[in-house]
Amino acid sequence: MNNATNARWKSALGFRNIGVIYVWLVIILIFSLWAPDTFPTWATVQSVLNQNAIAGLMALALIVPLSAQIFDLSIGNAMGLCNVIVAWLLVDQGMPIGLAIGLTLLAGILIGLFNATIVVGARIDSFIGTLATGALMAAVTAIVCNEQTIVGPALGGDFSKLATTSVVHGIAVPVFLMLLVAIVVWYLLNYTVTGRRIYATGFNQDGARLTGIRTKRLRYVSLVVSGTVAGIAGVLLASQVSSGSPGIGPPYLLDAFAAAFLGATQFGGRFNAWGTVVAVLLLGTGKTGLVLVEAPAWAPSMFSGVVLLLALILTNVEQSRDARSWLLARVRPPAEKEQEEERVGVKA
């Protein structure tokens, strides 16, 4: 029992399972030594959490479609469109806050349905399909705001409090919304039949369909989830910056994919909510540290790009290792398998 318990703890705390946390701690240590007067402070913790909550929502929006093997490249433009829509409704149309937010969230759902119709209904590859729909969303965004940033008193006051109100020790509302969405996604994928079917669809769509799983419906739902969360992020971003800007959404795309793929190498080796949240905070910590040490303006983008490349490499290594283990387990001679089982039984 002791050996088995030790083995489980070793596996749970191993670099293969939670390596991103060790890397995060190293980054914290480096910047703490590099900028000892400004980095290791509670103000930095607040900054990392508050400034990356929306990025976390964007990354979490990708988890469900990615688990179903769908790449939503339109998510940055979707958030940008929702950001402009809520600002336009409040400033130009004079709508009440509740109604403007409700209509914007409805727009997010419709965006998800539109993507699903293109990708699933029309059977267009998700890379190409969502790239095309993202371009259409960028055009609609420019039309709605007339290629100008929307500002006005309606975006301040009570509306701005949505993203700036401190809940606990300077931690704002979006952080807790990010955690709430993470809990919902975590529960959906890990503790529901639907979640297991989404993973099965992403692992082998044809095989899942042959077992009776309605893969089309699940892929539809995954893109609707993505659009809805993008809508939430767009509303919060408008509240945070008190404006609606046509170019504000696309820059979030790289960080979202970097966090999703980096998180997929942790906590079980598949796309998951908590690995994604930790990856977002790692990226945010690195960017905040680079700002505090007055790094060049291009350094944060390079940091995100390097993290994404490393995440993709680690993901490929994990998949190759798992495939090799699966193959060896099936080609190993029966006598060798029995000897291995006997050795395991003796050790236990």
Grouped pLDDT means (10 residues each) for the chain, 348 residues: 68 70 87 92 94 95 94 95 96 94 97 96 93 96 93 91 88 94 94 92 88 91 95 95 91 90 82 92 92 88 79 64 56 53 49
Residue 26 lies in a domain: no
Q: What pLDDT shows up at residue 144?
A: 93
The Cα–Cα gap between 63 and 264 comes to: 9
Contact in structure between 78 and 249 (CB atoms under 8 Å):
yes
Range of the domain at 125: 41-295
Taking the alpha carbons of 201, 79, 283, 47 in that order, is the dihedral positive or negative? negative
In a 10 Å sphere around its CB, with 0-12 CB exposed, 13-18 middle and 19+ buried, how is residue 98 labelled?
exposed
Residue 75 lies in a domain: yes
Instruction: Map tokens 């008190």 to a residue.
Output: 242
The Cα–Cα gap between 91 and 71 comes to: 34
Q: What pLDDT shows up at residue 47?
A: 93
Residue 156 lies in a domain: yes
Residue 97 lies in a domain: yes
CATH number of the CATH domain containing 113: 1.10.3470
Residue 253 lies in a domain: yes
Q: What pLDDT shows up at residue 262?
A: 86
Residue 125 lies in a domain: yes
Q: What pLDDT shows up at residue 175?
A: 95
Residue 184 lies in a domain: yes
In the chain, DSSP assigns E strands to 166-168, 171-172
Contact in structure between 36 and 212 (CB atoms under 8 Å):
no
Residue 257 lies in a domain: yes
Number of domains in the chain: 1
Q: What pLDDT shows up at residue 344?
A: 45
Quick one: how far is CA 187 from the chain centroid? 15
pTM assigned to the model: 0.85
